[in-house]
Amino acid sequence: MPENIQTDSTKRRRMTREDRHRQLLDVAWQLVAEKGSDALTLGRLAEQAGVTKPVVYDHFPTRPALFAALYSDYDQRQTLRMDSAIAASEPTLVGVASVVATSYVDCVVLQGPEIASVIAALASTPELEKTKREYEAVFLDKCRVWFAPFLVSGELSVASLHVILGCAEALSTAAARGDVSPEDAKQELLDLIVAVVVKAGR
C-alpha cells in the first residue's frame, strides 16, 4: 500500500502545470453539468479533482476567476472551430454565414447545457460580466471582418452585430437545452445573418 501511495504521489508531482489546469477545468465542467453552477466552489473542485485546496487556489485564486477560466476555455474552442471552418468556407455570403451559424451552434451543443449555467454565473457580478463582454467583442470584430466583403460600402453597424450575437446565443442555447433541434437553430441563424448583411449592404 505505501508503494502505491508513493506511486500516486509521484504521478501527481509529475503532472505539468498545464495538464493540471486542464484536469481542473474538465472536473469543473463535469461538476457544473451534474450539479449546476451553484455547486461549483473551489473546495468542491479540489475534492472532486483529488487535490488540496492550495493547488486549486494556485490556478484559480477566486471563484469568479474559475468561472472566467471556464468561459475562456469554451470561447477558445469556439474560436478555433470557427476560424478553421471560415478558412475552408466558400467565399460567398451564404457560405460564410453558414459556417458562423453551424460553428456557433455546434460548439454550444457539444459543450452541453452547462455552458448556460456558466454564462448565467458570468452575469452575476460586474467582474464576470466584463469578462463575457470582452470575449463577445472579439466575436463581433470577427463578424465585422468576415462579412465586410459582402457589403457595397461601410461595415455592419454595432446594432446589426448585436442582432447576430443575440440570436446566436439564444438559438444555440435553445438547441443545447433541446427546445429546438440543432438543425433548425442553424438554419434560423443562417437566415438571420444573411438577412442582416443584405439589409446592411443596401
Rounded mean pLDDT of the chain? 87
Residue 27, pLDDT score: 96
Whether the pLDDT of residue 1 is over 50: the answer is: no
Whether 86 and 96 have beta carbons less than 8 Å apart is answered as yes
Q: What's the pTM value of the predicted model, to 2 decimals?
A: 0.76
**Which residue reads 453539468 in cell numbers?**
33
Contact 196, 156 (CB under 8 A): yes
DSSP state of 112: -
Return the C-alpha cell found at 121.
454565473
Domains of the chain: 1-61 (1.10.10.60), 63-202 (1.10.357.10)
Q: What is the pLDDT of residue 140?
A: 95
How many residues does the structure list for the chain? 202
Residue 32 cell numbers, joined: 457544473
Indicate the range of 30-44, 70-84, 106-120 predicted with least confidence: 106-120
**pLDDT for the residue 152:** 81
Q: 58, 73, 71: which is closest to 132 by C-alpha?
A: 71
